[in-house]
């Protein structure tokens, strides 16, 4: 046994459309997520794992099978998360010093979360093991901090898409899992732009689900 744990992998999970868009553009005040977002994440949100882990639904309802297997893997062995200021909500509520994220008193992370922002604030300890830390560092330095907090478990880069792309372009991601919904959004932010040849650094596997979602995974040893 050793007291210096191995570093975990850096992981990303995304839902994109068949035409490569990772964001949606049809939000309205009445439907703040937009209908496109529901269609984009439908297979994931229908899984038993999502219902239990994110919605707190303990009834055991929800799909099992391929989509649920990827949903369960999403939650496995994550010791820390990194996310952008936008995902945490700092772009929507920049002037609220007490903003604590979108996820209520007990966020579904259950680990340290490092929020990338140019205007750091004090850490916030939430129920259930989630603590939000605010760091103004480049991706690689923020990752070091997350690895140290993860204690050998994996670090997830949660989003948003521009943050994920920064990490991919910097070569910092060990495993990228993309769930491709069989829909064409036609607009938004493209995941794949400027990533020509990314597959050369990874083993790529694809698996289709009965939901007609395709799961593509880029993997490399870290």
Candidate residues 72, 214, 219, 222; the one interacting with its own copies per rule CB under 8 A? 214
Establish if 194 lies at the interface with its own copies (CB under 8 A): yes
Candidate residues 53, 69, 121, 187; the one interacting with its own copies per rule CB under 8 A? 187
Distance of CA 55 to the CA centre of its chain: 17
Q: CA 36 to CA 30: how far, in whole Å?
A: 14
What is the distance in angstroms between the CA of the first residue and the CA of the last residue of the chain?
Answer: 21
Q: CA 137 to CA 85: how far, in whole Å?
A: 12
Which segments of the chain does DSSP mark as H helices, in order?
A: 35-45, 48-53, 66-75, 85-88, 139-150, 161-169
Residue 197 phi/psi, 5° resolution? 80, 5
3-22 residues near its own copies, rule: CB under 8 A: 18-20
Q: How far is the CB of 184 from its own copies (least distance, A)?
A: 5
**How many residues lie near its own copies (CB under 8 A)?**
28
143 in helix, strand or coil?
Answer: helix
Candidate residues 94, 127, 204, 220; the one interacting with its own copies per rule CB under 8 A? 204
Establish if 162 lies at the interface with its own copies (CB under 8 A): no
Establish if 38 lies at the interface with its own copies (CB under 8 A): no
Q: Which token pair is 149? A: 């907090």
Candidate residues 124, 135, 169, 183; the one interacting with its own copies per rule CB under 8 A? 183
Among 41-49, 72-80, 158-166, 198-206, which window interacts with its own copies (CB under 8 A)? 198-206
Establish if 31 lies at the interface with its own copies (CB under 8 A): no
Candidate residues 92, 171, 206, 220; the one interacting with its own copies per rule CB under 8 A? 206
Task: Check: CB of residue 202 under 8 Å from CB of residue 219.
Answer: yes
**Nearest Cα residue to 103 out of 120, 128, 134, 79:** 128
Contacting positions for its own copies (CB under 8 A): 18-20, 180, 182-187, 190, 192-199, 204-208, 212-214, 216
């Amino acid at each position: 046994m050793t007291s210096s744990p191995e570093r975990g992998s850096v992981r990303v999970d995304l839902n994109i459309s068949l035409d490569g868009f990772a964001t949606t553009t049809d939000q309205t005040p009445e439907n703040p997520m937009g209908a496109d977002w529901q269609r984009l994440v439908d297979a994931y949100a229908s899984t038993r794992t999502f219902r239990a882990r994110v919605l707190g639904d303990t009834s055991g309802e929800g799909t099992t099978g391929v989509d649920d297997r990827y949903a369960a893997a999403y939650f496995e062995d994550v010791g820390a998360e990194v996310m952008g200021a936008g995902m945490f909500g700092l772009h929507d509520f920049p002037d609220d010093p007490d903003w604590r994220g979108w996820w209520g008193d007990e966020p579904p992370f259950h680990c340290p979360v490092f929020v990338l922002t140019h205007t750091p604030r004090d850490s916030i300890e939430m129920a259930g093991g989630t603590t939000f830390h605010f760091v103004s560092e480049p991706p690689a330095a923020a990752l070091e901090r997350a690895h140290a907090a993860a204690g050998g478990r994996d670090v997830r880069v949660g989003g948003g898409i521009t943050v994920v792309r920064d990490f991919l372009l910097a070569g910092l991601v060990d495993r990228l899992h993309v769930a491709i919904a069989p829909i064409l959004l036609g607009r938004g932010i493209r995941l794949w732009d400027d990533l020509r040849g990314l597959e050369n650094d990874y083993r790529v596997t694809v698996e289709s689900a009965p939901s007609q979602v395709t799961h593509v995974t880029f993997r490399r040893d870290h």
